[in-house]
A and B are shown apart, each in its own frame.
Chain A
């Protein structure tokens, strides 16, 4: 039953199946956006940035706050609207400023420490930033509209959300840009060098400080994009920081060090979840969407711990 019936359902009618798959791809793209931020920092500093989800939340909160002309902390409207493009620029600057502060306060004292120490520091950072977001912008759910077209159209008998298409296009541009940046430019190589060995990187003349600021800025900007997309879709709210948890299985699937891996991992999880929920859900009373990603991650940890695209773990003894 469990093994046959769902497959029969998929064929009947096939349009509906494809619609489910496309829906899955689109939510997968959203996961990928968050996962990307993790991969960036991991590649360039060897640290798993637990705060990446909160980064996205913080960026979205700041963006909404600036757009609506709200005075931070007191939450009083200043009585004017800031144009979207200007608000985005301001938020970018805030994220870059945040990167500078993180480098100065958190990273610099931890040079040459084990990655696990850095990881713990990012947990602290997540809490600090979440609290800061609460104090600065309040904890109510806010609507975010940056002018991404909404609505849907029909194509080959399938309903397609225009918003989802935009998300896919933006994610695509980000990925190509980042892949070229990391693989083809001298700065990208310097970033990878820093990730491998702080001391050696310094000895060939790479200044750790500026490299870290660059990485965390880029991660902040990717978080902003993720925050905008998620915020536009489901409102800017504090549960946004929890999507970071969904990014974990995505990373395990794709490999922590691979930008394309983050994308493919996100898509697999997005599609897997939706298909499983729609076709297998009724057979097991639903809620598959909530745990499937983690089970997949577990299977991968058992059989392919470096993920689909990660660097092979080499150990010489």
Chain B
């Protein structure tokens, strides 16, 4: 185990207990090694950042956690149990929601429908029962709509409720995507570069939302982000990857001072 000095002092919003632990995860595509034997954990209620230069294997790591990729080696322990190989929808069903680096919304659908899709797993009425008695489906729909409206309210996107998302500016699309992930009421929320391509104001809004989600709903968040200012401000702990390997792990302050990290970002004089 490459468990380092540990998480240091307890972060403000951290509770005890590990929610998810990656043990010696390795993943390669043909001869390209994306991740080599990386271990880290995510504690309940914390904001965990994963950073590193381009191609460090950050997104691959998230893809392993939510089941898009299956690690060649190593295991993922979630809620105290070793997880078997899992499909993305099974990961979603176990409380892992995510957003994507390159916004992946349902472009033809409205903001509201996108967020309602996030409630998919919570819906009980199936195809047949909806056919047999439409009333069930309708009653359920109203209940879920209420929750969707709360999320819309929370993210301050009331005005674009009925707008097809393909027409929205990028910053708002990212916000809708966050809404869709929140609609699943996840235990663990994975955010892949939630602030990429945003202007300062949008970034500040997004930071506020992330902190609020963490605070109000107690959602555990793992995020990938390139904006170091943001990362150091909002995260409780940071893990740094470079060329598929973990080079540092700890509080923002610890990581900032780490020689390996400085080298990875600035290059080493040869």
Interface residues of A (CB under 8 A from B): 180-181, 184-187, 189-190, 192-193, 195-197, 199-208, 214, 257, 311, 314, 316
Q: Min CB distance, A181 to chain B, in Å?
A: 8
Q: Residues of A contacting B89 with CB < 8 Å? A: 202, 205-208
A205 with B98: CB separation less than 8 A: no
A206 with B109: CB separation less than 8 A: no
B107 with A185: CB separation less than 8 A: no
B167 within 8 A of A: yes
Secondary structure call for the B interface: helix
Q: Residues of B contacting A207 with CB < 8 Å? A: 87, 89
B66 within 8 A of A: yes
CB nearest to B128 among chain A residues: A187
Chain B residues 61-98 with CB under 8 Å of chain A are: 66-68, 87-89, 92-93, 97-98
Q: Min CB distance, B269 to chain A, in Å?
A: 41
B106 with A202: CB separation less than 8 A: no
Instruction: Please measure, in the bound complex, the distance between the C-alpha atom of A204 and the C-alpha atom of B113, giving whole angstroms.
Output: 13
**A204-B127 CB under 8 A given contacts A192-B106, A314-B166:** no
Instruction: Please measure, in the bound complex, the distance between the C-alpha atom of A184 and the C-alpha atom of B67, giving whole angstroms.
Output: 30
Chain B residues 94-141 with CB under 8 Å of chain A are: 97-98, 100, 104-109, 113, 116-118, 120-121, 123, 125-127, 130-131, 134, 137-138, 140-141
Q: Residues of A contacting B126 with CB < 8 Å? A: 187
Instruction: Please measure, in the bound complex, the distance between the C-alpha atom of A192 and the C-alpha atom of B105, giving whole angstroms.
Output: 12
**A186-B130 CB under 8 A given contacts A205-B89, A207-B89:** yes
B164 within 8 A of A: yes
Instruction: Please measure, in the bound complex, the distance between the C-alpha atom of A193 and the C-alpha atom of B92, giving whole angstroms.
Output: 15
Could you list 15 further interchain pairs (A-B, Cβ under 8 angstroms) beyond the known A202-B68, A204-B117? A184-B137, A186-B130, A187-B127, A189-B117, A189-B120, A192-B113, A199-B68, A200-B180, A203-B88, A203-B97, A203-B100, A204-B92, A205-B184, A314-B166, A314-B167
B108 with A196: CB separation less than 8 A: yes
Instruction: Please measure, in the bound complex, the distance between the C-alpha atom of A192 and the C-alpha atom of B110, giving whole angstroms.
Output: 11
Residue pairs across A and B with Cβ atoms less than 8 A apart, 18 shown, are: A184-B134, A186-B125, A186-B140, A189-B113, A189-B116, A189-B120, A192-B113, A193-B109, A200-B105, A203-B100, A203-B104, A203-B181, A204-B92, A204-B117, A204-B184, A205-B88, A206-B117, A257-B108
Q: Residues of B contacting A185 with CB < 8 Å? A: 125, 127, 130, 137
Q: Residues of A contacting B104 with CB < 8 Å? A: 197, 199-200, 203
Q: Residues of A contacting B120 with CB < 8 Å? A: 186, 189-190, 193, 204-206
A203 with B117: CB separation less than 8 A: no
CB nearest to B117 among chain A residues: A193
Q: Min CB distance, B87 to chain A, in Å?
A: 7
Q: Min CB distance, B173 to chain A, in Å?
A: 9
Interface residues of B (CB under 8 A from A): 66-68, 87-89, 92-93, 97-98, 100, 104-109, 113, 116-118, 120-121, 123, 125-127, 130-131, 134, 137-138, 140-141, 164, 166-167, 180-181, 183-184
B92 with A203: CB separation less than 8 A: yes
**A199-B100 CB under 8 A given contacts A204-B92, A206-B89, A314-B107:** yes
Q: Residues of A contacting B140 with CB < 8 Å? A: 186
B166 with A316: CB separation less than 8 A: yes
B100 with A200: CB separation less than 8 A: yes
Instruction: Please measure, in the bound complex, the distance between the C-alpha atom of A203 and the C-alpha atom of B105, giving whole angstroms.
Output: 11
B125 with A204: CB separation less than 8 A: no
Q: Min CB distance, A178 to chain B, in Å?
A: 12
Q: Min CB distance, A129 to chain B, in Å?
A: 25
Q: Residues of A contacting B88 with CB < 8 Å? A: 199, 202-203, 205
B105 with A197: CB separation less than 8 A: yes
Instruction: Please measure, in the bound complex, the distance between the C-alpha atom of A205 and the C-alpha atom of B120, giving whole angstroms.
Output: 7
Instruction: Please measure, in the bound complex, the distance between the C-alpha atom of A204 and the C-alpha atom of B179, giving whole angstroms.
Output: 11
Q: Min CB distance, B82 to chain A, in Å?
A: 21
Q: Residues of A contacting B167 with CB < 8 Å? A: 314, 316
Q: Min CB distance, B136 to chain A, in Å?
A: 10
Instruction: Please measure, in the bound complex, the distance between the C-alpha atom of A217 and the C-alpha atom of B127, giving whole angstroms.
Output: 13
**A205-B137 CB under 8 A given contacts A192-B106, A192-B109, A311-B108:** no
Q: Residues of B contacting A205 with CB < 8 Å? A: 88-89, 92-93, 120-121, 184
Most buried by B among A184, A197, A200: A200
B106's partner among A187, A193, A314 (CB-CB below 8 A) is A193
Please list the 9 inter-chain residue pairs (A to B) with the smallest Cβ-Cβ separation, ordered nearest first. A205-B92, A202-B88, A196-B106, A200-B104, A205-B121, A314-B166, A186-B123, A207-B89, A185-B130
Most buried by B among A205, A206, A316: A205
Instruction: Please measure, in the bound complex, the distance between the C-alpha atom of A33 and the C-alpha atom of B87, giving whole angstroms.
Output: 36
CB nearest to B109 among chain A residues: A192
Instruction: Please measure, in the bound complex, the distance between the C-alpha atom of A197 and the C-alpha atom of B102, giving whole angstroms.
Output: 12
B108's partner among A192, A203, A204, A214 (CB-CB below 8 A) is A192
Q: Residues of A contacting B181 with CB < 8 Å? A: 203-204
